[in-house]
Chain A
Amino acid sequence: MTAQVADMGVLADRGALNSARLTQDARRESLTFLALCSPGLILVGLIIVLPIGWLFWLSFFDESGALSGANYARFFEQRSYVRTFITTFQVAFLVTGLTVLIGYPLSYMLSQISRRAAAICMIFVILPFWTSVLVRTYAWLVILQRKGLVNTWLMDLGVIDQPLPLAHNFTGVIIGMTHILLPFMVLPLYGSMKSIDTDYLRAGMNLGASPTATFWQIFFPLSLPGLAAGIIMVFVLCLGFFVTPALMGGGNVIMWAMRMEQTTSLYANWGAGSALGVVLLAVTLGLLALFHRLMGARATSVWGG
């Protein structure tokens, strides 16, 4: 009897010992994995979080070093800032609209042709995606500038007498940015179109819907998640785009990112530049958060209902 009780005591002790060891092991395991992430996390903390946090802090001080909202008030008071925001949003809306307009038919075609043909066509989308933005902007400069290909051809053909102003202005920025951002529209759109179950479409047609009705009432609504993802992606990238407007705009189209570069590099006004950056980041993250909320609701309404 007493021996049995003693045995049970030993067992209980062992159980406690085991569970303590297991907890310890789990903790060690967790720490090991955290250590594996730490080089990456330290780098991101050092290069992304720390400087951006610092700039955020700086944006609340004016040039004399006093705490103030002057850097933000400037956005509404100075006409040049207001113009920059207007230009940026004009470009963003136009480019997003254009990428939808030409990206949707392309994605639709890719989703309808055979897998093999689509894979070949995809090279045309992926290759520019992985070609330097500089190279592609340079190509557009060569094509669109005053003595560029388009103007030379049109003048040789006698269509125009004077070269058309296609580069170093708003038009050039729009054409170049639409080209560069188009893959960001096509890739999510194609992905979502590819996942649409074609049985729905066949069912619709079997029940007597015309091809047009089938497209608008079944296919189009099911492609909306991809379309929304593409729109958000392109719009957000437009807001902070630098290289193409800087080169294609020829100094005539000042967008948000260019204004940031000017205020910091040219005028060394860190407070003002930081404030621009803070608002840009806030708008970007805000749009992405909005997208997640909308898509979260949408996903449940599409798949749940």
Chain B
Amino acid sequence: MYSDQALPISHWRRSWLYVTGGLVLVYLIGPSLIIVPMSFSGSTLLQFPPQSWSLRWYEAYFGSVEWRDATIVSVKVAVMTTLVATPIGTAAAYAINSGVLRFSGFIQTLLTATLIIPVILVGIGTFFLYAKLGLNNTLTGLVIAHTVQALPLVVLTVLSGFRTYDMNQERVARSLGANRFAAFWQVTVPQIRFSIVSGALFAFITSFDEVVVALFISGGETTTLTRRMFTALRDQVDPTIAAISTCLIVLSVLLLTLAQLLGRRRS
């Protein structure tokens, strides 16, 4: 009648709970799902369900130089952020996990501080610093800022991977003559690689979806996709954005599925 976790109450008596929960789930997922069919609408009016179907908003997206350039900037920044944040975060997680490090709790707090600090403050601060360094509106500036935003996720994901790994295996490899890096690379990495890849995926999506910091420090030729979307949405609700949003939703679904699959392999 009822599952292991549940109280001995019949499902029927708590149907109200399932209805409420179901409605909340619809509220959570509905808005994103509604955008997908609307992006294939043939009219400029945003209707659901659409009266006619077409690919015109996708043509508008891929045909526009501005949108395409912004997408390329976002992809470049996200790829570079992933490539920088993943090794830095993994190295830090390895050191924190070793237990040798003094103040490792404090170091972990510092490295994951951006999860707590209001993003708007980081945006303004970064803009202020970059104005002095001449890094505003540059790819380098964006990659550095996004790396700091992505770092906590990499550190925490890799640390959780270390939790199920026995570090003694690396010690054995070293006692048999491997140097530390070889032992790490050949013994440890293969066993925590799914955590590292999950961390990398999180880093990618953090950078790709980041709006607030980019609003301050990107512009001109380095305008990111999200920044351009934000500016466009301030003016009017353009159906082209429905097409772009659908692409972003598909990207999220793909990356999340990948992370889930890796998570299953991990555990």
Interface, chain A (partner B; CB < 8 A): 26, 29-30, 32-34, 36-37, 39-41, 43-44, 46-52, 54-55, 102-103, 105-106, 108-115, 121, 124-128, 130-143, 145, 147-149, 152, 179, 182-183, 194, 198, 201-202, 205, 211, 214, 236, 239-240, 242-243, 246-247, 257, 260-261, 264-265, 270, 273-274, 277, 280-281, 284-285, 288
Bound Cα distance from A112 to B8, whole angstroms: 11
Give the chain B neighbours of A47 by CB distance below 8 A: 122, 125-126, 129, 144-145, 148
**Interface flag for B17 (CB, 8 Å):** yes
Q: Which residue of B lies closest to A106 (CB)?
A: B24
Q: B102 to chain A: closest CB distance in Å?
A: 7
Output the nearest chain B residue to A54 by Cβ-Cβ distance. B128
Q: Which 4 A-B pairs have the closest CB atoms?
A: A51-B125, A240-B118, A109-B21, A139-B31
A44-B113 contact in complex given A39-B91, A133-B211, C-beta closer than 8 Å: yes
Q: Give 14 new A-B contacts, CB below 8 A, not counting A114-B5, A131-B209, A132-B208.
A: A30-B102, A44-B148, A55-B121, A55-B128, A109-B21, A113-B3, A114-B4, A134-B230, A135-B245, A140-B31, A141-B237, A149-B46, A198-B5, A277-B121
| CB pair A109 B18 closer than 8 Å | yes
Task: Tell me how many residues of B have a C-beta within 8 Å of chain A.
Answer: 85
Interchain CA distance A106-B127 in the complex, whole Å: 40
Q: Are A33 and B95 in contact (CB under 8 A)?
A: yes
Q: CB of B65 within 8 A of chain A?
A: no
Query: Given B155, B205, B234, which contacts A246 in the complex, CB threshold below 8 Å?
Result: B234
Asked if A48 and B28 make an inter-chain contact with CB atoms under 8 angstroms apart, the answer reads: no
Please tell me if B156 contacts chain A, counting CB pairs below 8 Å: no
Contact assessment for B28 and A179 in the assembled complex, using a CB-CB cutoff below 8 Å:
yes
- Whether, in the assembled complex, B6 has its beta carbon less than 8 Å from a beta carbon of chain A, the answer is yes
Whose C-beta in chain B lies nearest to the C-beta of A278?
B121
B125 and A55 contacting across the interface, CB-CB below 8 Å: yes
Q: Are B148 and A43 in contact (CB under 8 A)?
A: yes
Closest to A250 in B: B234
Q: Which of A48, A211, A270, A285 has the most CB of B within 10 A?
A: A48
Q: How far is the CB of A261 from chain B (nearest CB, A)?
A: 7
Q: Is the CB of B237 within 8 A of A131?
A: no
User: Judging by beta carbons under 8 Å apart, are B121 and A40 in contact?
Assistant: no
Would A243 and B24 be within 8 Å (CB), given that A109-B18, A135-B32, A145-B237 are in contact? no
Closest CB in chain B relative to A16 CB, distance in Å: 23
Interface assignment of B256: CB less than 8 Å from any CB of chain A: yes
Q: Which of B52-60, B161-169, B247-255 contacts A (4 or more CB under 8 A)?
A: B247-255
- A106-B121 in contact (CB<8A): no
Q: Which chain B residue shows the least CB distance to A128? A: B28
Q: Does B176 count as interface, using CB distance less than 8 angstroms? A: no
- Sampled A-B contacts (14; CB under 8 Å): A36-B92, A47-B126, A51-B124, A113-B3, A134-B230, A134-B233, A135-B32, A139-B35, A141-B233, A179-B31, A202-B7, A240-B118, A261-B120, A261-B124
Interface string of B1-45 (1 = CB under 8 A from A): 001111111000110011011001101110110110010000001
Contacts of A34 in B (CB 8 A): 95, 101
Residues of A within 8 A of B180 (CB): 32
Q: A39-B88, A43-B147 are in contact. Are A106 and B7 (CB under 8 A)?
A: no
User: Taking CB as reference atom, which chain B residue is nearest A146?
Assistant: B237
Q: Which of B27, B107, B237 contacts A179 (CB under 8 A)?
A: B27
Are A135 and B125 touching (Cβ within 8 A)? no
A114 to B3 Cα, complex, angstroms: 6
Q: Which residue of B lies closest to A116 (CB)?
A: B3
B1 to chain A, nearest CB (A): 12
B245 touches A138 (CB 8 A): yes
Of the candidates A39, A135, A260, A273, which one forms a contact with B248 in the assembled complex, judged by CB atoms under 8 Å apart? A135
**Residue in A30, A135, A236 whose Cβ sees the most chain B Cβ within 10 Å:** A135
A145 and B208 CA atoms in complex are apart in Å by 27
* Distance of A142 Cα from B91 Cα, bound (Å): 44
Which residues on A sit within 8 Å (CB–CB) of B35?
A: 135, 138-139, 142
B199 in the interface, Cβ–Cβ < 8 Å? no
B178 to chain A, nearest CB (A): 16
A136 touches B31 (CB 8 A): yes
Asked if A284 and B252 sit within 8 Å, CB to CB, the answer is: no
A40 touches B129 (CB 8 A): no
Interface membership of B62, Cβ < 8 A: no
Q: In the complex, which residues 219-241 of chain B have their Cβ closer than 8 Å to any Cβ of chain A?
A: 226, 229-230, 233-234, 237, 241
Q: How far is the CB of A233 from chain B (nearest CB, A)?
A: 10
Contact of A130 among B21, B96, B256 (CB under 8 A): B256
Q: Kindly state the separation between the CA atoms of A281 and B118 in the bound complex, as whole angstroms.
A: 7
Residues of B within 8 A of A108 (CB): 17, 21
Per a CB cutoff under 8 Å, which of A32, A202, A270 touches B128?
A270
CA distance A197 to B234 in the complex (A): 49
